Structure 1
C-alpha cells in the first residue's frame, strides 16, 4: 500500500470512530438530570426515593440515562 492509501484508510477509520463517539449516550449525575428535566434536587431525590425513575448504579454512584428517564416520564404521564 502506498502512504496515500494508508492515510485514506486512517482518515476513514477516524471518521467512523468520531461518528460512533458522537452517537454514544452520556450518563448524567443527579445535578445534571435535575437541570435536564427541570426539577429541583429535593424533588428529584423524592422521585428517586419513590422509585419513580430508572437508574444505573455503578458501585455507590447513581447515574441516569436521560433518554430512558424522559421516555419513562412520558409513559407515566400518558398513563395518569
Structure 2
C-alpha cells in the first residue's frame, strides 16, 4: 500500500468525518414515557391513559415501553386531522 500525501490524508479524513456526521444526524433516539410527555406536552398520567387506550405507537423491549418520537408525532397529527 502506497503512503498517502498530506493532502490525500486530509481529504480522506474530511470524507470520513462527513459520513459519520451524516449517520449521527439520521439516528433516531427512542424515548421513555417521561421524555415523550415533555416532547408532546402532556402529563405522564395522560400519556399512560393514551398508551392504555392504544392511541400511541410503542416499541416494547421486554417490559420496557419506548417511543419513537417521530412516529408518535406523525400518528397524533394524522389522527387529529381525522377527528
Provide TM-score, normalisation by structure 1: 0.89
Q: Deviations over 1:28-61 (max 9, x none)?
A: 1100100111111100001111111000112221
Instruction: State the 1:19 CA deviation.
Output: 1.9
Secondary structure at the residue paired with 1:52?
coil
Of residues 27, 49, 63 in structure 1, which corresponds to 2:52?
49
Of residues 7, 10, 21 in structure 1, which corresponds to 2:24?
21
Q: Spell out the pairing of 1:1-80 with structure 2 (5 A cutoff).
A: 1-80=4-83
Divergent runs of 4+, >6 A: none
Secondary structure at the residue paired with 2:55?
coil
Provide TM-score, normalisation by structure 2: 0.86
In the alignment, structure 1 segments of 5+ residues that lack a partner are none
In the alignment, structure 2 segments of 5+ residues that lack a partner are none
What is the aligned residue count? 80
RMSD: 1.3
